[in-house]
Amino acid sequence: MDNNDFRKHAHELVDWMADYFEEVEDYPVKPDVQPGDILAQLPETAPEKSESFEAMFEDFKKIIMPGITHWESPNFMAYFPANKSYPSVLAEMLTATLGAQCMSWLTSPAATELEERVMEWLRELIGLPDNFTGVIEDTASTSTLCALLMAREKATDFKANNNGVPGDKTFTVYCSSETHSSIEKDVKIAGFGRQNLRKVAVDEHFAMQPEALEEAIREDLENGCKPAAVVATIGTTGSTAIDPLEEIGKICSKYDIFLHVDAAYAGTALLLPEMRRMNKGIDYADSFVFNPHKWMFTNFDCSAFYVQDEALLVRTFEIMPEYLKTPEDERVKNYRDWGIQLGRRFRALKLWFVIRSFGVEGLQKKIRFHISLGQQMKEKIEAHENYELLAPVPLNTLCFRFHPSHIHDETKLNELNEKLLNAIQESGKLFLTHTKLDGKYTIRMVIGNTNVEKRHVEQAWKLIQQKASQLVT
């Protein structure tokens, strides 16, 4: 492919992309394929000879597209969204074109300095204290791993980095029983040991109980352990429960424990002044993460990771081989020392485009709208005698089940709701997912897709009721 071919095909692709965005809600949101269906259509060996762009693009349309789950569809209300927007996609095109490696200032000065500036913007926008400094990581899983590694180094007085995690002491980590699975994974990777993760009980709103946290810490101290880190969540994955940060922070401060805040999804809502109450007590946090790639209209991946103690972060990760030394090292940020990766994508560009294109007002308007749609849906579920909300709805995530009044048996209700979810998914018209809350099979509906409108929520509610009534007649 030469430059002329590239120009021609790029124009064709942009047309295809614009058509896709226009038509995406007409696609079945979840594809009708079985495991292995796509694999069976792909040759077992790579082609010896060059193939034309036309052939590749035809196969993309014929083989790949029918197997795509359309996260971009406004009928996608599953998991948490992985949103995008026009300015974000345009920035990703430029990023791919430049192919800049952002490991140190020298390898792309503009990328480093733009990252520094947009992270400052974002810090202001979500109301983090001024002494937080940010870096863009790929995911919240990685950001939390970085936080736990910082906590590990702090707790071991930097011995773990040099000698391995000391075996003469048990270092413990705390999170709630509703915390995202990435915390457990990160605890394993960071060398704390899975059995040293304490899953603290939650209250009736699925938020961590501070008293239970303190009790667990005291018990560990009595047993000679060293509590190293607490992970609090703003917006749990199951039901967007909000852990009481201020009370948790006071406990961490009392026992000198590193506090990390995981706001992967709900952090975007902090753009709204009226939602800042979720962040009360943030001053106690040592680190904080939220994902613009979830709800802030910025293509995956883009995770905003903030720390209070920049020196601790850099000391945890810094490594200085001769071939990476530059004359500017003393005067600049070399983001390779702010996390795990050496090579880093230029992610700040899409964030810059998104913030500038929407403007703060535009971002706030959309997020407020999503929350209002969530609250309207909440009222509908509450008002219906055959449906039951299973968790509070602080934002735009609904946790509910179908509960006809004549069914009292919990096992039957679980089976019924599982069937309902399957029927909804098979329709291809709506994609919802589930969790379990208090042992109850819970259908989750998240109304946060970039282009979701009231009519999509109304259609979704109609479909849920229609599928449910088919199950009981």
Binding mask 351-390 for ligand PLP (x = CB under 6 A): ----------------------------------------
Alpha helices (H) along 384-394: none
**CB distance 66 to 33 below 8 Å:** yes
**Shortest gap between Cβ of 421 and ligand PLP (angstroms)?**
18
Looking at beta carbons only, is 233 or 442 nearer to ligand PLP? 233
Exactly one of 303, 364, 396, 449 binds ligand PLP (CB under 6 A); that residue is 303
Window contacting ligand PLP (CB under 6 A); options: 90-98, 108-116, 232-240, 335-343: 232-240
Residues in contact with ligand PLP, total (CB under 6 A)? 14
Extract the tokens encoding 140.
């919240």
Task: Please name which of 192, 257, 194 lies closest in space to residue 221, comparing C-alpha atoms.
Answer: 257
Looking at beta carbons only, is 239 or 308 nearer to ligand PLP? 239
Looking at beta carbons only, is 25 or 92 nearer to ligand PLP? 92
Looking at beta carbons only, is 236 or 450 nearer to ligand PLP? 236
Looking at beta carbons only, is 123 or 293 nearer to ligand PLP? 293
Show contacts with ligand PLP in window 246-275 (CB under 6 A): 262, 264-265
Window contacting ligand PLP (CB under 6 A); options: 136-144, 150-158, 197-205, 422-430: 136-144
Looking at beta carbons only, is 434 or 467 nearer to ligand PLP? 434
Task: Please name which of 41, 25, 44, 21 lies closest in space to residue 33, comparing C-alpha atoms.
Answer: 41
Looking at beta carbons only, is 295 or 461 nearer to ligand PLP? 295
433 SS3 class: strand
112 SS3 class: helix
**Shortest gap between Cβ of 233 and ligand PLP (angstroms)?**
6
Binding mask 146-185 for ligand PLP (x = CB under 6 A): ----------------------------------x-x---
Burial string for 183-204 (b: 16+ CB within 10 Å, else e) reads: beebbeebebeeebbbbbebee
Looking at beta carbons only, is 73 or 291 nearer to ligand PLP? 291
| Longest Cα–Cα distance in the chain | 75
Extract the tokens encoding 89.
């996609």
Q: Does 80 bind ligand PLP (CB under 6 A)?
A: yes
- For CA atoms 138, 143, 144, 146, the dihedral sign is positive
Q: Does 233 bind ligand PLP (CB under 6 A)?
A: yes
Window contacting ligand PLP (CB under 6 A); options: 137-145, 270-278, 306-314, 419-427: 137-145
Q: Does 299 bind ligand PLP (CB under 6 A)?
A: no
Place of tokens 């089976």: 415
Place of tokens 């039951």: 388
Q: Does 237 bind ligand PLP (CB under 6 A)?
A: yes
Q: Does 401 bind ligand PLP (CB under 6 A)?
A: no
Question: How many whole angstroms separate alpha carbon 340 and alpha carbon 33?
Answer: 36
The amino acid present at 30, given as its one-letter code, is: K
Question: How many whole angstroms separate alpha carbon 31 and alpha carbon 425?
Answer: 9
Q: Does 141 bind ligand PLP (CB under 6 A)?
A: yes
Looking at beta carbons only, is 80 or 358 nearer to ligand PLP? 80
Looking at beta carbons only, is 153 or 186 nearer to ligand PLP? 186
The amino acid present at 343, given as its one-letter code, is: G
Window contacting ligand PLP (CB under 6 A); options: 62-70, 139-147, 184-192, 347-355: 139-147
- For CA atoms 57, 294, 180, 120, the dihedral sign is positive
Question: How many whole angstroms separate alpha carbon 409 and alpha carbon 440?
Answer: 11
Output the DSSP codes for 421-452.
HHHHHHHSS-B-EEEEETTEEEEEEE---TT-
Integer-rounded Cα radius of gyration of the chain: 24
**Shortest gap between Cβ of 192 and ligand PLP (angstroms)?**
17
**Shortest gap between Cβ of 18 and ligand PLP (angstroms)?**
28
Task: Please name which of 146, 144, 108 lies closest in space to residue 334, comparing C-alpha atoms.
Answer: 108
**Shortest gap between Cβ of 142 and ligand PLP (angstroms)?**
7
Looking at beta carbons only, is 140 or 395 nearer to ligand PLP? 140
Name the β-bridge partners of 397. Answer: 446
Name the β-bridge partners of 444. Answer: 399, 433
Extract the tokens encoding 79.
């998991």
Task: Please name which of 62, 74, 81, 1 lies closest in space to residue 292, comparing C-alpha atoms.
Answer: 81
Window contacting ligand PLP (CB under 6 A); options: 138-146, 186-194, 371-379, 395-403: 138-146
**CB distance 402 to 408 below 8 Å:** no
Q: Does 241 bind ligand PLP (CB under 6 A)?
A: no
**Shortest gap between Cβ of 445 and ligand PLP (angstroms)?**
15
Question: How many whole angstroms separate alpha carbon 443 and alpha carbon 389?
Answer: 10
Q: Residues interacting with ligand PLP, by CB under 6 A?
A: 80, 139-141, 180, 182, 233, 236-237, 262, 264-265, 291, 303
